[in-house]
Amino acid sequence: MGLGFRVAIELVVCTVVGAGLGYGFDVWLGSRPFGMVIGLGFGFAAGVTTIYRVVKGMDEAVGLGRASRERETRQNPPAKD
Amino acid sequence: MASPIEQFEIKPIVPIHVGGVDISFTNSALYMVIAVVVATVFLTAAMSKRALIPGRLQSMAEMVFEFVAGMLRDNAGAGSQKYFPFIFTLFMFVLLGNLLGLTPYSFAYTSHIVVTAGLAVMVFIGVTIIGFVKHGAGYLRMFFPHGAPVITAPILVPIELVSYLSRPFSLSVRLAANMTVGHIMLKVIAGFVISLGVFGIVPFAGVVGVTFLEIGIACLQAYIFTVLSCIYLHDALHLH
């Protein structure tokens, strides 16, 4: 139940933060509503990426470098895409 | 039947008003003081003997110390020892807040988003400042893809940025939501005990079971809060 809660909260929070950032961008540039829509899209993508990393055991590492090195150390060396 | 939301109300115990600002000593503040006193008394009394071969109480204090120290060392890597006092305080505060909220007639101060958000924002700002102090502007390299083609940077960088900025929110909401849901569930099931009369034994057994679950969740959520703080510290101290 703990993992389920964690995944759900990560997804919702990332989407909301992305939409919020997009909305802030809107207020700054006056480009309603496109800023919030794009922010929503990025937020959702960030949420899915974070959930993927949590489930894979990389513990929401930020930065593709750390995530791919985590993957290397967990599998055997010849495991690059 | 009383509403299950009433247990989260903040009630002032000693009203203090300074220049129009309400800084009363509330029931939330009372339980925070109780948590600090319990932690201090436990650790001081346990270590007062300083035996080389620890007795029971000293073993308990040493176990907690080693647990948090091991967690910090494993997750934050080298050079993280100086942040141990803060991480230990964070762990004890959240753990005691969660556990004290399960005692009868008490108040779970970690169920309020303002308390957990305060802790999470403190961790987030602290970690960001540590990252910038240690790496300068190179801290921004954390958002740039290292193993991916540079063409994808305009898509990956905003995603990583949003993921980074959502950390304090998810950290705080997770703890507050878990505590709130647990306590509301306890109150709702317990409300059925009296109204069912002789069959009230069934919701009573439910309450016992849910209380066990809540004790486990209290410890687990304190652990998750602290381990994620250690991981964010690792990201700040060692970029890649």
Q: What are A37-54's pLDDT values in tens digits?
A: 888 999 999 999 888 888
Q: Is the pTM of this model over 0.80?
A: yes
B142 to A62: CB separation less than 8 angstroms, yes or no: yes
Q: What is the pLDDT of residue B16?
A: 86
- Is A46 within 8 Å of chain B by CB? yes
Q: Which two tokens stand for residue A34?
A: 């496109």
In this structure, which amino acid lies at residue B118?
G
Q: Which residues of B touch A (CB under 8 A)?
A: 142-148, 156, 158-160, 162-167, 169-170, 173-174, 177-178, 217, 220-221, 224, 228, 231, 235, 239-240
B170 to A49: CB separation less than 8 angstroms, yes or no: no
- Is A18 within 8 Å of chain B by CB? yes
Torsion of Cα atoms, B168 then B169 then B170 then B172, to 10°: 80
Residues of chain A with pLDDT under 70: 1, 57-81
Residue bearing tokens 């950390």: B167
Which candidate, B164, B233, B204, B93, places its Cα nearest to that of A42? B164
Contact residues, chain A, for B156 at CB < 8 Å: 64
- Is A57 within 8 Å of chain B by CB? no
State how far residue B163 is from chain A, nearest Cα, in angstroms. 5
Q: Which residues pair with B26 in a beta bridge?
A: B12
Nearest chain A alpha carbon to B239: A66
Mean per-residue pLDDT over chain B, rounded? 89
Q: What is the pLDDT of residue A60?
A: 52
- Is A72 within 8 Å of chain B by CB? no
Q: For residue range B136-168, what is the model confidence (pLDDT) as tens digits?
A: 888 887 777 667 777 877 888 888 888 889 989
Q: What is the pLDDT of residue A1?
A: 67
CB atoms within 10 A of CB B107: 24
| Calpha distance A64→B3 (Å, rounded) | 47
Determine if the peptide bond prior to A33 is cis (ω within 30°): yes
- Is A42 within 8 Å of chain B by CB? yes
| CA atoms within a 13 Å half-sphere pointing along the CA-CB vector of B73 | 6
Residue B30 banded pLDDT, cuts 50, 70, 90: very high
User: By the 8 A CB rule, do B94 and B225 touch?
Assistant: yes
Q: What is the pLDDT of residue B1?
A: 56
Percent of chain A having pLDDT more than 70?
68
Q: What is the pLDDT of residue B44?
A: 92
Using alpha carbons only, what angle is made at residue A23 by residues B180 and A46, rounded to the nearest 5 degrees? 65
Q: Comparing B6-20, B138-152, B209-223, which segment has the lowest mean pLDDT?
A: B138-152
Contact residues, chain A, for B143 at CB < 8 Å: 62-63
Q: Write the DSSP symbol of residue B111.
A: G
| Calpha distance B10→B26 (Å, rounded) | 6
Who among B145, B162, B177 is closest to A9 (CB)? B177
Q: What is the pLDDT of residue B125?
A: 94
B163 to A2: CB separation less than 8 angstroms, yes or no: no
A13 to B235: CB separation less than 8 angstroms, yes or no: no
Percent of chain B having pLDDT more than 90?
52
Residue B100 banded pLDDT, cuts 50, 70, 90: very high
Q: Write the DSSP symbol of residue A5.
A: H
Q: What is the pLDDT of residue B145?
A: 65
Instruction: Please state the length of chain B.
Output: 240
| Calpha distance B46→B178 (Å, rounded) | 31
State how far residue B90 is from chain A, nearest Cα, in angstroms. 20
| Calpha distance B172→B176 (Å, rounded) | 6
Residues 6+ apart with CB under 8 A from A50: A10, A11, A14, A60, B163, B166
Which candidate, B103, B63, B77, B105, places its Cα nearest to that of B230? B77
| Calpha distance A20→A51 (Å, rounded) | 20
| Calpha distance B18→B102 (Å, rounded) | 33
Contact residues, chain A, for B173 at CB < 8 Å: 9, 13
B159 to A46: CB separation less than 8 angstroms, yes or no: yes
